Structure 1
Amino acid sequence: MAVVDIPGSKSITARALFLAAAADGVTTLVRPLRSDDTEGFAEGLTRLGYRVGRAPEAWHVDGRPQGPAVPEADVHCRDGATTARFLPTLAAAGHGRYRFDASAQMRRRPLLPLTRALRDLGVDLRHEETEGHHPLRIAAAGVAGGDVTLDAGQSSQYLTALLLLGPLTREGLRIEVTDLVSAPYVDITVAMMRAFGADVRRDGDVFTVPPGGYRATTYAVEPDASTASYFFAAAALTGGEVTVRGLGEEALQGDLRFVDVLRRMGARVDVGRDATTVSGTGRLAGVTVNMRDISDTMPTLAAIAPFASGPVRIEAVANTRVKECDRLEACAENLRRLGVQARTGPDWIEIHPGTPAPAEIRTYGDHRVVMSFAVTSLRTAGITFDDPECVRKTFPAFHDAFARLRAALPA
């Protein structure tokens, strides 16, 4: 049995950094993820005047409930979607003039539903070039609060950003959501806000957040469930057994539900109090699955789908087209490069059984494409990647960790 230690959750680390910066007092984050995305978030906070101390096992953040410490700042958000969406929202609650830009990849990703909602709340925000995309400028004067309507059909991060803002407004927020994808990520946000002393109430599609700010705390970041999916899939594919510590019955992250998909395909799954184990049984059945709530694990399933006994159809994942790349087409294209039949529609991909042949995977600079097809390589020698190091976005040591796993799994 292989026991795997997965680095901290990117999603939780980003939320924790926002909450710590907004809280009254000094927050300690235990075992946060150290990757390009989270380092970029911490760097952005520093540019805004927040103090972030980064020790190897814990980060310490001096909160400023009143907002950024500097009256002007120019923040580069790198490739990080959470950085690019959360930091402008945090800055809007303060007072000053702030500019935000991002990488070419992040500039292409949509932002308009969030910036439109911020404008509806009275925030002086303008896009410098393309409407709804970075770069943008904010002339911040605090946020009064009130009612706002939000379309979160492209990304739950839009709703998370507004929820996080709520306690920092003078009157609180009432957010009506007209569509919501990846709902479990919102559950993470609500649970973490409560851990920092805030309140959130939900009535159907309406979220109400009263004012009152946040309290500093010590917060332990759980392992990243999306990253764990590659290791769980490796066990299911090879007939091996993999245990991931720190992800169990109490886990916040909805992406742990990926193991339920593997169970449906024939793997054995044991979710314990503080660990999850997946054991391969030597077979993978075809499956049709709605992955709307766990869409970050869609590429993981796509990468092992050729080895199933029947077709694998993944539905309700239109939002994966506006991630680091168009992940639906990226998965389909790379499967075809491997000689596997794959078809896509507006929000689905269907993959037929096949025997993948060696090929170079076109990564589009997307960390999840690399990590997913690394699982395929366990049963297909000769797979290479045009940009293997883009995994630094969320897991810089992935290739070393996966090599150790490969050595522990059945050949």
Structure 2
Amino acid sequence: MREHRRVPTPWNAPLAPGPVRGRVTAPGSKSVTNRALLLAALSGGAATVTGAPASRDTALMVGALRALGVPIEVDGERIAFSAHEGLRGCGTVDCGLAGTVMRFVPPAAVLADGPVAFDGDPRARERPMATVLDALRALGAGVDGERLPFTLHGTGSVPGGNVVIDASASSQFVSGLLLSGARYDKGVTVHHDGKPVPSLPHIAMSVDMLRAAGVEVDDSEPDTWRVAPGRIAARDWAVEPDLSNAAVFLAAAAITGGEVTVLGWPQDSTQPGAKILSVLAEAGCTVAPGPDGMTVRGPDALAGVDVDLHDASELTPTVAALAALATGPSRIRGVAHIRGHETDRIAALATEITALGGAVTETPDGLEIRPAALSARPDRPWGAYADHRMATAGALLGLVVPGVAVDDITCTDKTIPDFPDRWAALLGR
């Protein structure tokens, strides 16, 4: 059954009493977690994932794998898999609004021994899915439908082989096929033919994790990824902090002239969220890695930025909030594809920042934001659009714009459990 979310009460974003100073622990990476969960399920052996965030996206992936007959036990941030004989059909997968579930699980579900139905939240039914579903048809799977809801007709195996796709709308189309490709009879070779693939670091993350599970992957040719057929090794996965979520806490220091340390920041990471450090530096912040984490100190006044976020587009709402408070003009480029994310993030950001009195222009591939005095309207809360990153962008602006309310802060449970409490703790409340 799909989850029906009640209409929430608007959340009054707390105003920072001064420079924000604190040390925070970010929840585990949703991207790493859901890849690890899928690989653990496909291994068929005993495996664990530790550090998994207790978020909605994690719960949806666990629920999807359980619907496929995978034995899973969840104990806080530790998720344990028992050995099993393969994926079962005749179940229903609730994708919610999780792109990793709706794009990663179908290529695995074609290996089930019967039909598997997929559905999700109303907005999920609008998100593009034809690329991955057409690819599965080309690889030998039976599929009814072009987007949610749809049904896959699993027969226990799929031929696999070569497939050409246009992944310019989402790197998840490539990752989804790669993560299950080793279990196909011929493996899988994915060729991308189209505009540049967004968020390439996420594909690099998938490749690295496949190799860590003993899968042979050849990514030496541009826009081509080859996964050899074979087993996926059962192993224990440790999840690093989610750097895109951590970016919101670092940005709190940036816009208030404060100092925030995110504990456990990895020295090396394939997460696109690491790009926030160069963006903050361009805005005038001091970025200082240390033995216990990453520290950002905000400037007296934020400078405008001109950034291409094509490979880190999930940072767009956070960077747009910073830009709305900068003393100079900013430009965010390379993110046309985020019109197909949880909401049309370009249009949503333009609408909401403008409603606060901001000066925003939509461009074909992003936003131009100019300095303007911001003020909240008591009759109109900041719209989250059921999008966790839109909600946190509203919380950021609320630190320095009195009276900001976010119409749905509960949607942050998609990736940041207990966000309001974490935010209040950062402010010492």
TM-score bin, normalised by smaller chain: over 0.9
**For structure 1, which runs of at least 5 residues remain unmatched after alignment?**
none
Which stretch of structure 1 is more off in the superposition, 80-89 or 70-79?
70-79
* Mapping 1:39-118, distance limit 5 Å: 39-64=59-84, 67-68=86-87, 70-118=88-136
Q: Secondary structure at the match of 1:180?
A: coil
> How many residues are aligned here?
402
Deviation track 1:348-405 (CA, whole Å, cap 9, x = no partner) reads 1011112210131011111111111211111111000111211111113111111111
Alpha-carbon shift at residue 273 of structure 1 (Å): 6.2
Distance (whole Å) between structure 2 residues aligned to residue 30 and residue 134 of structure 1: 31
Is the 1:248–1:272 Cα contact (8 Å) retained in structure 2? no
Q: Which residue in the other structure is 2:384 paired with?
A: 363
Alpha-carbon shift at residue 61 of structure 1 (Å): 1.4
TM-score, normalised by the number of residues in structure 2 = 0.91
Q: Which residue in the other structure is 1:139 paired with?
A: 153
Determine if the alignment matches structure 1 residue 4 to structure 2 residue 19: no
Residues 86 and 312 of structure 1: is their aligned pair in 2 closer, same or farther, counting only changes over 3 Å?
A: same
Q: Which residue in the other structure is 2:305 paired with?
A: 287
Q: Which residue in the other structure is 2:187 paired with?
A: 172
Alpha-carbon shift at residue 168 of structure 1 (Å): 0.6
Alpha-carbon shift at residue 283 of structure 1 (Å): 2.2
* Mapping 1:339-358, distance limit 5 Å: 339-358=357-376
Q: Secondary structure at the match of 2:140?
A: coil
Q: Which residue in the other structure is 1:154 paired with?
A: 169
Is the 1:249–1:273 Cα contact (8 Å) retained in structure 2? no
Is the 1:96–1:140 Cα contact (8 Å) retained in structure 2? yes
Following TM superposition, the consecutive aligned residue runs of length 4 or more in structure 1 with deviations greater than 4 angstroms are none
Is the 1:42–1:52 Cα contact (8 Å) retained in structure 2? yes
Q: Secondary structure at the match of 2:49?
A: strand
Distance (whole Å) between structure 1 residues aligned to residue 95 and residue 326 of structure 2: 39
Amino acid aligned to 1:252:
T
Is the 1:44–1:77 Cα contact (8 Å) retained in structure 2? yes
Distance (whole Å) between structure 1 residues aligned to residue 210 and residue 261 of structure 2: 29
Alpha-carbon shift at residue 88 of structure 1 (Å): 1.4
1:275 to 290, 293, 311: 293
The structure whose residues are more often strand, as a share, is 1
Q: Which residue in the other structure is 2:13 paired with?
A: none
Alpha-carbon shift at residue 336 of structure 1 (Å): 0.7
Determine if the alignment matches structure 1 residue 122 to structure 2 residue 116: no
Is the 1:306–1:340 Cα contact (8 Å) retained in structure 2? yes
Is the 1:236–1:279 Cα contact (8 Å) retained in structure 2? yes
Determine if the alignment matches structure 1 residue 231 to structure 2 residue 249: yes
| Structure of higher RCO (CA pairs closer than 8 Å, 6+ residues apart) | 2
Amino acid aligned to 2:387:
D
Alpha-carbon shift at residue 271 of structure 1 (Å): 3.2
* Mapping 1:166-315, distance limit 5 Å: 166-178=181-193, 179-202=196-219, 203-272=221-290, 275-315=293-333
